[in-house]
Structure 1
Amino acid sequence: MRSLFHTAVAAATPARLFAGRLPEPPSGRVLVAGAGKAAAAMAAAVEDHWPGPLDRLSGLVVTRYGHGVPTRRIDVVEAAHPVPDAAGRAAAGRIHELAGSLQRDDLLICLISGGGSALLAAPAAGVTLEDKQAVNRALLRSGAPIDRINCVRKHLSAIKGGRLAEAAHPARVVTYLISDVPGDDPSVIASGPTVPDPTTFAEALHALEEYGIEPPASVGKYLFAGSEGRIAETPKPGDPAFADDELVMLATARDALAATAALARRAGITPLVLGDAIEGEARDVGTAHARLALALARSDRPSALAMLRAGLVSFAAPAGDLDPLTQTVPKAPCIVLSGGETTVTVRGDGRGGRNTEYALSLALSLGARPGISAIAADTDGIDGSEDNAGAVVTPDTLARAAAAGLDATALLADNDAYAFFDDLDDLVVTGPTRTNVNDFRAVLIQPATPSGIAASCGTLSSGPGARSGRCRTTPRQEAP
């Protein structure tokens, strides 16, 4: 299972993505700017593949603490995520100022990846950083999907929602994106600093109301003024600021799933790809995926197909050629693959991100069923705000938990999946991967014979760099 996760991460490694894809140097200046968990690795890759003299490059990117890499011409600043801090605010201010100095013959290369919304922290006029932090914390605990969260973030920012491109106009802007959002909408990835924003102040206000968030007074006042037209909206499609701009999508969850599906086929295991845009409460998605796995394990293909057709296991329309309804419902050994971004509505005081919560819910729903294993991990190496990427589930997870005196149901109710898997030594710990194509989930359904289980598990669970313990592992890292 670990090798599948490594493959998903490798498919989105920035060092592999820029060859032959950078623009020709302009007659004017070249500024490189960006934000996200992959921003530093992307900047290093731009330097490695730049088609002109390296001394023409300058700029600044901001990434999460611990995600920086050495660069030669492009400055790297580390800042806080998922709640912004003063370092991110200062970096965003510098980037906005540099973009505003560009002229018509200049070029802005913008490097955008997941996490950029928090890292580009430039509060709008009249909104303090502390107020933005409070709103961010409330949104992250609310269970709101990322597009709703980023709608609010864009309308409290001086740089997101297309405002960076607006500042750089009339210079040409070429944006390179590594997507961490379901559906790969460029206006949602890092809150779209260089793309038109289709959302409005009124929608931002509605999002806060919908999720029961009472904002600080300055935030409510600012959003209300914007909804009444007293503050200029974010730039919309058709705005001249975007006339000569270009977007390049470098990597997505779809790419990661395609790579892992190919690996499974080479191992003789049939993949069933549910989709790259799955959303919903992590525990609900875990329960639904367990139901599908159990149906596949007992060769109940009609029930499995009925679940797929009813949308009971996808929680979102799968994209294009990943549509499970175009695929044959497989027999074991098979593996169910999915991507996207689930959410967690925090009810307890425990620790754990959406992938560990999904994994614990899955384990509880599987019960003691033999022959089913799973991994759920965030491709950036960080599940929420913890130090793990995710967790693994094995056929004996609940038995080992009972022997250790762990109450799985109570821990899930307290949002404490981290403690559950930490005590079992089943956390996936990688450190920063310096990329981010969202969550990766794989559920392996193996034949009921011991020999079949050993053959399938051995092919997909081994991997270089594994430490002692069941799934504490350091994946293959690309050189920066």
Structure 2
Amino acid sequence: MSESNRDLLNLTYPFRETLKPGAPLFRNVRNHIIASNEIALRAAKKQAEAGGFFAEIIEAGMQGEAREVGRRLAERLKETVRIRPRPFCLLAGGETTVTLRGDGQGGRNQELVLGAVETLRGMQDILLLSIATDGEDGPTDAAGALATGESAQRAESLGMAAADYLSRNDAYSFFAKLDDLIKPGPSGTNVNDLVFLFAF
């Protein structure tokens, strides 16, 4: 038996020292990334292009308070509509956070979209959707939600105001009443979240 293999057999957990790169234990270890948010974004971009959209990844590693990210992305969509011919699809990926202020139901993707509703108000032929790639957004059966330029007005016709639901972290109830939740079921894979901003 080689000396390095003998050394490996003598190792006990916990190791006396943190293993360093190049340690014999790692000699036959290979790491391959087979799924990531970046890979998912590139695949989504390719699919959008195949569907006839100009597609651009505008943000990878998306972070921050979900409602604020939603507003910011909706503003980006507004700006892009003014300067780019349609149809197009902007994509963002990462994982936001939610600061709980109320006792509502939802997840970070639903709250991101709810945060965008007022900014999108009145825009024509647009769609913003945000989904958890594992198919489960927060403690709900939805992966996320979608909003259009008509979402705020549709909600008001049902006696709902986006700001009220946002103040209670109750995005699930808001989008359930609009029938705008996305419910594909569990995917078995989690590579964070994807946001799509379409102009048709």
- Residues 428-467 of structure 1: pairs in structure 2 closer than 5 A: 428-446=182-200
Structure 1 residue identity aligned to 2:26: A
Q: Which runs of 5+ in 1 are unaligned?
A: 1-103, 106-165, 170-231, 300-329, 447-480
Match of 1:343 among 77, 86, 97: 97
Q: Deviations over 1:88-139 (max 9, x none)?
A: xxxxxxxxxxxxxxxx69xxxxxxxxxxxxxxxxxxxxxxxxxxxxxxxxxx
Q: 55, 61, 64: which is aligned to 1:280?
A: 64
**2:171 aligned to which of 414, 417, 429:** 417
Q: 1: CA distance between counterparts of 2:192 and 2:113?
A: 16
- Residue 22 (structure 2) pairs with residue 243 (structure 1): no
Do 1:296 and 1:332's aligned partners in 2 also have CA atoms closer than 8 Å?
no
Q: Which runs of 4+ in 1 moved over 2 A?
A: 166-169, 235-246
CA contact (8 A) 2:121 2:153 kept: no
- 2:140 counterpart of 1:390: no
Q: Distance in 1 between matches of 2:21 and 2:51?
A: 49
In structure 2, the partner of 1:376 is: 130
Q: Does 1:265 align with 2:19?
A: no
Distance 1:421 1:375 in 2: 12
- What is the distance in 2 between the residues matched to 1:404 and 1:249? 46
1:405 maps to: 159
Q: Which amino acid aligns with 1:257?
A: L
SS of 2:32's equivalent in the other structure is strand
Q: Distance in 1 between matches of 2:24 and 2:96?
A: 34
Give the letter for the 2:174 counterpart: F
Figure out how many residues of one structure are paired with residues of the other and give that number: 191
Per-residue deviation at 1:284?
1.0
AA aligned to 1:293 is L
SS of alignment partner, residue 174 of structure 2: helix
Matched ranges for 1:71-82 at <5 A:
none
AA aligned opposite 2:50 = R
CA displacement at 1:385 relative to structure 2: 1.8
Which of 75, 81, 84 in structure 2 is aligned with 1:291? 75
The separation in 2 between residues aligned to 1:254 and 1:276, in whole angstroms, is 7
Percent pairwise identity: 36
Higher relative contact order (CA 8 A, sep 6+): 2
Name the Cα RMSD after superposition: 2.5
What TM-score comes out, normalization by structure 2 length? 0.86
> Cα distance, 1:432 vs. partner?
1.0
